[in-house]
Structure 1
Amino acid sequence: MRAITYTRPGGPEVLELTDRPTPQPGPGEVLVRLARAGVNPTDWKSRTNTQPGPEGQVPGQDGAGTVEAVGQGVDAAVVGQAVWVWEAAWQRPWGTAAEYTVVPLRQAVLLGPDPSFELGAALGIPFLTAHRCLTLGESVPDRVGPGSLTGRTVLVQGGAGAVGNAAIQLARWADATVIATVSSPRKAQLAAAAGASHVVDYRQQDVVAEVRKVAPKGVDVVVEVSAARNAAVDAQVVGMHAAVAMYADDGGAEVTIPVRAQMAPNARWNFVLVYTEPERAKVIGVEDVNAAVLDGAVRVGEDVGLPLHVFPLAETAQAHQAVQDGAVGKVLVDVTA
């Protein structure tokens, strides 16, 4: 099979198009023939900082395709079914930047009767991260679904990013009022297309003042892409029992939080990394995101604020670079091209 691999850490130049044996599913696993692969920041960060195993590493946590074969203990009825794949390369050598990958059955989730491989490949890390961010506060439930956030207000810092877009779509599905911050009119259009109820351009407007107009008592959840830059703002807009969920590291930056001001509302400041989150939270996240997919509540594309940038498999290095350079929207790899 054709696969992108790297045998040493480094820049995108270490990625090579190779011909490798097709992996075989072991007990409890499925073999998925991939159509699209998603590219996330953790892909290029892992490639840069982590020494791969002796056989090399196929990058890519997320993808979508069709189940081709099953291992012992897996019902053969899933063969031929369209699925979305998550965490394919987490502590495993077979990522999604290849014609095939092997994952445990629970990491290949049915896409439903009218599958979109573009949507499936875009789910994984961004949507599971967004789900976790939306469910960490004491004033919100640990499940996301229709009506679960009725009466709640969610602030999405960075509403035009992949996780920001996922948070907006999921929160609106759950009936929350969503405020999104952006850095340009173009990004404002994308956040509004995703479903944000209110959009604030932080370069042109006072975020605290604008948020307080919408939520005088403060917001219930902050989905935070840049905690080091936004902590002072977040501290001023949290409501009673609110939660700030930080899912990006700003290149190792540190966060300063005004302690007394956060004690009064009993605010929570949480750190989010899908790969190591509690198992129950991960199971719930997959279930809820898939329910949103089957409900038709989440989509991808320009019309929902998530432009797609698709690269052929041979140009996976360029796809990695696009994500590292901050491409607005979702970067995918067409594994069939």
Structure 2
Amino acid sequence: MKAIIYRDNGGPDVLHLVDRDVSAPGPGEVRVRVAVSGVNPTDVQARARVNQPTQFPEVTPHLDGAGTIDAVGEGVDQSRIGQRVWLYLAAAGRPTGTAAEFTIVPAEHAVPLPDETEFDVGASLGVPALTAHRALTVAEDGPRRLRPGALDGTVVLAAGGAGAVGHAVIQLARWAGATVISTVSGPEKARLATAAGAHHVINYREGDPAAEIRAIAPAGVDIVAEVALGTNLALDLAVLRSRGTISVYANDGGKPVDLDVPRNLVLNARLQFVVLYTAGPQVRAAAVEDVAAAVQDGALRVGEEHGLPLHRFSLDHTADAHRAVERGTVGKVLVDVTS
């Protein structure tokens, strides 16, 4: 099979296309013929850690993807062979991610994908959708699970709604019944956030964004899904309701966070940091179930018309796909592995 590998951390040039034997799945595992591999910032960051040795002698990158199960290991129902699936955390603690024609994952990491749902959607779930689910389910007085109606009466602010996680936040929050506000940096990103389903879109670089958000939500925002805490914290606190939650899944731009402790105390604010790897197996399993239900309902869609432009690369141009992520390409970067 064709696979992308790297042996040492570094820039995109460490990625190489090689031929490898196709392995058999072990107990509790499935082998998937990968159709599309999704590229996330975390994949790029894992490869780029130049001062850290790789965890394995050889690594095939990428956590997310979609394809078809073609073999199962001992203890896995044989009826799963031929099942279309989406994959998550494929390369977490393992050397074999989705940037290959075949990958092997624990059976529970291969989630059934409805026949009518494109592989592009499946490859775009994983890290973004499960992170978005976590961001929406950590509020003190909010639900721990998402379903239609779970967020009725809730106001969600999706910071950076044109990004992959922000896009998933908008779609999951709307599916669950929330009123969704998104902040963006310009008209093109505003168009994408609107296409994703945001009810209100505000350019945070113009006018008085706090006043605009408060006009929509006079009592304040219940949940902020935050991608750039250092840049946006002052705005978040200006619009957060008492006992509201700021769910932080990134700090894009790397600006240091200046924490106004008295202001947070008065608000009884919850500052919840979110990362998928350490969220815990029960939390991840619940998120997978809810995301799968949203997919079944057609609530998670991708492509320009749904607010998440797709940028495609062939397997032998995976290094270019990583470069696209590094330069902050707006949308979802995908690698076409097999047709």
Q: One fold, TM greater than 0.5?
A: yes
Question: Residue 82 of structure 1 contacts residue 115 of structure 1 at CA under 8 Å; is this kept in 2?
Answer: no
Aligned to 1:247: 249
Aligned to 2:4: 4
The CA RMSD measured in Å over matched residues stands at 1.2
**Which shows bigger deviation, 96-105 or 113-122?**
113-122
SS in 2 for 1:34: strand
Aligned partner (choices 49, 65, 68) of residue 67 of structure 2: 65
SS in 2 for 1:332: strand
Structure 2 length normalisation: TM-score? 0.97
Question: Residue 29 of structure 2 contacts residue 105 of structure 2 at CA under 8 Å; is this kept in 1?
Answer: yes
Gaps of 5+ in 1: none
Q: Cα 1:54–1:232, aligned 2, differ >3 Å: closer, same or farther?
A: closer
Report 1:226-245 matches (<5 A). 226-245=228-247
Aligned to 2:275: 273
Report 1:97-246 matches (<5 A). 97-246=99-248
Which residue identity lines up with residue 154 of structure 1 in the other structure? V
**Can you list the C-alpha shifts for 1:184-218, whole angstroms capped at 9, x where unaligned?**
10100000000001000111232211110111111
Question: Residue 145 of structure 1 contacts residue 288 of structure 1 at CA under 8 Å; is this kept in 2?
Answer: yes
Q: Cα 1:250–1:115, aligned 2, differ >3 Å: closer, same or farther?
A: closer
What is the Cα deviation at residue 144 of structure 1? 1.1
Aligned to 1:41: 41
Gaps of 5+ in 2: none
Which residue identity lines up with residue 190 of structure 2 in the other structure? A
**Which shows bigger deviation, 306-315 or 49-58?**
49-58
Q: Cα 1:75–1:149, aligned 2, differ >3 Å: closer, same or farther?
A: same
Aligned partner (choices 280, 297, 322) of residue 324 of structure 2: 322
**Structure 1 CA distance for aligned equivalents of residues 279 and 255 of structure 2:** 21
**Can you list the C-alpha shifts for 1:41-77, whole angstroms capped at 9, x where unaligned?**
0011000114224531000000000001000000000
What is the Cα deviation at residue 270 of structure 1? 1.0
Aligned to 2:288: 286
Aligned to 2:265: 263
**Which shows bigger deviation, 250-259 or 325-334?**
250-259
What is the Cα deviation at residue 251 of structure 1? 5.9
Which residue identity lines up with residue 191 of structure 1 in the other structure? A
**Which shows bigger deviation, 198-207 or 183-192?**
198-207
**Which shows bigger deviation, 111-120 or 287-296?**
111-120
Aligned to 1:15: 15
**Can you list the C-alpha shifts for 1:19-44, whole angstroms capped at 9, x where unaligned?**
11112211000000000000000011
**Structure 2 CA distance for aligned equivalents of residues 69 and 84 of structure 1:** 15
**Which shows bigger deviation, 254-263 or 161-170?**
254-263
Which residue identity lines up with residue 149 of structure 1 in the other structure? L
What is the Cα deviation at residue 242 of structure 1? 0.9
Which residue identity lines up with residue 47 of structure 2 in the other structure? R
Aligned partner (choices 74, 77, 83) of residue 76 of structure 2: 74
What is the Cα deviation at residue 119 of structure 1? 0.3
SS in 2 for 1:37: strand
What is the Cα deviation at residue 231 of structure 1? 0.8
Aligned partner (choices 28, 42, 51) of residue 53 of structure 2: 51
Question: Residue 56 of structure 2 contacts residue 95 of structure 2 at CA under 8 Å; is this kept in 1?
Answer: no
**Structure 2 CA distance for aligned equivalents of residues 21 and 54 of structure 1:** 17
**Which shows bigger deviation, 200-209 or 226-235?**
200-209
Which residue identity lines up with residue 153 of structure 1 in the other structure? V
What is the Cα deviation at residue 240 of structure 1? 2.2
What is the Cα deviation at residue 252 of structure 1? 5.0
What is the Cα deviation at residue 115 of structure 1? 3.2
What is the Cα deviation at residue 130 of structure 1? 0.5
Which residue identity lines up with residue 255 of structure 1 in the other structure? V
Question: Residue 7 of structure 1 contacts residue 53 of structure 1 at CA under 8 Å; is this kept in 2?
Answer: no
Aligned to 2:303: 301
**Which shows bigger deviation, 67-76 or 206-215?**
206-215
Task: Please state if 1:31 is matched with 2:31.
Answer: yes
Q: Percent of pairs identical after alignment? A: 54
Aligned to 1:96: 98
Question: Residue 3 of structure 1 contacts residue 20 of structure 1 at CA under 8 Å; is this kept in 2?
Answer: yes
Structure 1 length normalisation: TM-score? 0.98
**Structure 2 CA distance for aligned equivalents of residues 213 and 195 of structure 1:** 19
Q: Cα 1:274–1:54, aligned 2, differ >3 Å: closer, same or farther?
A: closer
Q: Matched residue pairs, number?
A: 337
Which residue identity lines up with residue 137 of structure 1 in the other structure? A
**Structure 2 CA distance for aligned equivalents of residues 205 and 5 of structure 1:** 48
What is the Cα deviation at residue 278 of structure 1? 2.0
**Can you list the C-alpha shifts for 1:54-108, whole angstroms capped at 9, x where unaligned?**
5310000000000010000000000000000000001100000000110001000
SS in 2 for 1:155: strand
**Which shows bigger deviation, 77-86 or 206-215?**
206-215
